[in-house]
Structure 1
Amino acid sequence: MNELLSHIDPNLLQQIGFYSHQIDFTFLSRLSFLLFILAMLLGTGLSLTVSQILEPLRNVRLVIFSLVANFVVVPFLVFLVLQFVTVSEPIKIGFTILAVAAGPPVLPKLAQMVNGNLAFAAGLMMVLMLGSSIFMPIVLPLVLDGVQISPWQVAKPLFVSLLPPLAIGLLIRWRYEAIAANIVPFLRRVTNFSLILGLVSSLALQFNSLIELAKSGIVIAIAVFIVVAFAVGYFLGGPNLDTRLTLGVGTAQRNIAGALLVAGTNFEDPAIISVIVVTSLSLFVVIRLIARISLSQQAQPEAESTTSVGNVQ
């Protein structure tokens, strides 16, 4: 290996090192996720109608169970576990903030990944984010000393960043359905590319923090948090598999924008932000596993049905 490296031009190595250090991963991560959110929500609006989004929300029982899963069960379980598990104070604060921050802006994409209910995901995202704008300012000051946050701070991303592209997509779909159908495949490619780029750049930013968290054993706690939160949403998601999967991933993935807002404005310890970011990023890995399992389970009945038809013929 040393002999091979000796034949490489030192100037080339210096240039590679120079350009790698010039990459602003913070800017790249923010730009990627901004593009991801805009493309995802625009594509969601182009794929649905207003009545389709509102239809699942007419199921009062499902909406109540969704609120209970996100604002009662998950916060209570996390609070209970933190009373018996010994962790450092930054980790405890990070998990506490995540527990009360419901309504992931990426929920429609998560639902798409697990073949869930896209219309329910869009409506649930708005309901949970509005709920968080009321729930977080009330609960966080009670469980964490010195935390101050206004309802508008949590609700602002919903009205400023999320609703406009969704509304534009719905409007285009309403007036020009054929054009909307042609745009959706392109937006899905943009969404997938920007998501991958955002995850890679975020992992590069949080690599050292990830190593430190892995050494502390907190990765196991993160995995337990994700699995338990998904199970809570899944079992409260009603009789249909698509809504169970949607509420499962919507409960497991928290409102990272709201959580980071609280952590960044009220605490100076970077470990708190690392816990929030690493936990949120870890869910995307788990989602891929859930997606494969759910898709294989849905494919089995279809395969059995096709085989049965073939045998009859």
Structure 2
Amino acid sequence: MSVLQTLQSLFTLAFVVTSMLGMGLSLTVSQIVAPLRNARLVALSLAVNFVVVPAVAFGLSRVIPLDQDVQIGLLLIGTAAGAPFLPKLAQIAKADIAFAVGLMTILMLVTIVYLPLVLPLLLPGIEVSALEIALSLIVTMLVPLVVGLLIKARYEGIAQAMQPAMAQISTISLVLLLVLMLALNFRNVIALFGTGAIIATLLFIVIAVLAGYVLGGPRTSTKQVLALGTGQRNLSAAFIIATSNFAGQPNVLVYVAAAGLVGMVVLFPTAGEFGKRAKVIPGTDQPAASGQA
């Protein structure tokens, strides 16, 4: 089992790093920043991820009878935003990838500051290391993105040659990661049935997706990105906190892993359905700008 867990960590790292590097190789700084100039959209994105979704997690943890470890896990994923899977989900959905990368970046940065402030209020007695969370997210997500952007800016030919390889490695790593997560956590997920945990997780994800879609602005492509980005939580940050603060309560980590698996099972097909309905500009992979909700 330890070998499988090591492989899961390696495939997760490979997926996150190659995804971020690939996105950097295919975009420019101006493309990422442009969607974030919409102050209203950014404000709504922050509000839904750091006010609405944590409130939903807190409410579900009180309304649905749950074990204490599951309550803790639900609050962890409810407060951690900025998932590395978002650009891949946006790509599958044929949505606004530049907005997805920009949104992921800003959510990740806010999460680093937000978690140490909010979690002690929701979970009295917990201590959250902002530095530990920041280092993990910066090294695995921000650094590869910046490296890709620099290569794209200075050596566009090399970037064009590298990008397909990064995309392939990212996709293969994701498939292997999903298989391993299922193998490692299948029994844990089955064990959660009948406890209310699966129902709470599904309700949480569905409400988060709907809230993101409703607040995602007038364009369908940004609605889809915010829906997917709000539904997919930052499991990296949740894992760090669960490991460092709840080592004596292993079911917290089990729940976070199970919730991550449930989220993938729900969100990747959702992204695929968005992609089937998407209208793209002929000859490109970019969504049409005129889509309305």
Relative to the length of structure 2, the TM-score reads 0.90
Report sequence identity in percent: 41
1:1-313 aligned within 5 A: 24-267=3-246, 268-298=248-278
Root-mean-square deviation (Å): 1.9
Decide whether the 8 Å contact of 2:212 with 2:230 is kept in 1: yes
Residue 224 of structure 1, CA deviation: 1.2
Is the CA contact 1:133–1:151 (under 8 Å) kept in the aligned structure 2?
yes
Q: Is the 8 A contact 2:64 2:196 kept in 1?
A: no
Runs of 4+ in 1 over 6 A off after TM superposition: none
**Equivalent residue letter for 1:62:** L
Structure 1 residues 104-130: Cα deviation after superposition (integer angstroms, max 9, x where no partner): 122211211222211111111121111
Q: For 2:95, what is the secondary structure of its paired residue?
A: coil
Per the TM alignment, residue 274 of structure 1 is displaced from its structure 2 partner at its CA by: 1.5
The structure whose residues are more often helix, as a share, is 1
Q: 1:255 to 1:71 in 2, by over 3 A?
A: same
Contact 1:129 1:158 in 2 (8 A): yes
Helix, strand or coil: the match of 1:24? helix
Change (3 A) 1:280 1:84: same
Radius of gyration: which is bigger? 1
**CA displacement, residues 14-37 of structure 1 (integer Å, 9 cap, x when unaligned):** xxxxxxx7x810111011111111
CA contact (8 A) 1:37 1:106 kept: yes
CA distance in 1: counterparts of 2:229 and 2:85, whole angstroms: 9
AA aligned opposite 1:210: V
How far did 1:42 drift? 0.8
Structure 2 contact 60–204 (Cα < 8 Å) conserved: no
Distance 2:204 2:23 in 1: 28
Cα distance in 1 for partners of 2:197, 2:177 equals 23
Deviations for 1:282-310, whole angstroms, at most 9, x for unmatched residues? 2222123212321232259x9xxxxxxxx
**For residue 199 of structure 2, what is the amino acid of its counterpart?**
I
Helix, strand or coil: the match of 2:216? coil
Q: Deviations over 1:115-149 (max 9, x none)?
A: 22111111111211111112111111111122101
The code of the aligned residue for 2:112 comes to: S
Question: Shift of the alpha carbon at 1:197?
Answer: 0.8
Partner of 2:285: none
Q: Which residue identity does 1:297 align to in structure 2? A: R
Cα separation, partners in 2 of 1:296 and 1:202, compared to 1, 3 Å = closer
Alpha-carbon distance in structure 2 between the residues aligned to 1:288 and 1:129: 20
Query: For residue 253 of structure 1, what is the amino acid of its counterpart?
Result: Q
Contact 2:92 2:275 in 1 (8 A): no
Residue ranges of structure 2 left out of the alignment (5+ in a row): 283-293
Cα separation, 2, equivalents of 1:176 and 1:230: 38
**Cα distance in 2 between the residues matched to 1:195 and 1:255:** 16
How much has 1:193 moved relative to structure 2? 0.6
Kept in 2, the 8 Å contact 1:113–1:287? The answer is no
Counterpart residue type for residue 76 of structure 1: A
Structure 1 gap segments, 5+ residues each: 1-20, 303-313
Partner SS state of residue 216, structure 1: coil
CA drift at 1:217: 4.1
